[in-house]
Amino acid sequence: MSIDLTRRKFLGRIWKAGAALIAAAGAWTTWDLLQPLATSGFGGKVRTVSPAAVPDTGVVEVLAAKSHLVKIDGELIALSEKCTHLGCRVPFCESSNRFECPCHGSVFNRAGEVLSGPSPRGLDRHPIEVREDGLVYIDTGTKTEGASPGTETIDEPSTGPACAEEDHG
């Protein structure tokens, strides 16, 4: 009889331990599913480079974020490369030190402010954060709209010839 009781107790404990494990696994899975998605592609937070890798002049293009990282007076900003006119991709022109839209000729300074052309505002900006791994993350899921034409917060003259074609007629 005592052997039978011991066996029952043992099996009961095994059963409880198994149930506890299943409950713990379920709780872990639920917690994990509720965590924000660590998206790494466009539409989420895109991991890029260290802040030191962004030069004081020029830009760093981040293809996965469809953006450029720019350092203005020591402050990092992420500029969307989508033109605010009709959405063409706006590359940076090294020779002129300007963003130049190849579609209809909008020109933006290195801070993304519109200098000329039909764009109704400057290039939009995505929030950035520097995480514990020391890298800059661009949040491509949100943006703030670029400034109205006429806003110029930096004084960087053009450094040379434009890259885009002049005739947009």
Q: Which residues bind ligand FES (CB under 6 A)?
A: 83, 85-86, 88, 101, 103-106, 117-119
Residue whose token pair is 């965590």: 35
Minimum distance from CB of 143 to ligand FES (Å)?
A: 17
The amino acid present at 44, given as its one-letter code, is G
Minimum distance from CB of 100 to ligand FES (Å)?
A: 9
Minimum distance from CB of 89 to ligand FES (Å)?
A: 9
User: Do 116 and 104 form a contact (C-beta atoms < 8 A)?
Assistant: no
| CA–CA separation, 108 and 141 (whole Å) | 23
Q: Which is nearer to ligand FES, 54 or 79 (CB)?
A: 79
Minimum distance from CB of 106 to ligand FES (Å)?
A: 4
Q: Which is nearer to ligand FES, 76 or 147 (CB)?
A: 147
Q: Which is nearer to ligand FES, 118 or 149 (CB)?
A: 118
Q: How would you class 158 by CB atoms within 10 Å of its CB: exposed for 0-12, middle for 13-18, buried for 19 or more?
A: middle
Q: Which is nearer to ligand FES, 67 or 106 (CB)?
A: 106
The amino acid present at 68, given as its one-letter code, is H
| CA–CA separation, 125 and 145 (whole Å) | 6
User: Do 104 and 118 form a contact (C-beta atoms < 8 A)?
Assistant: yes
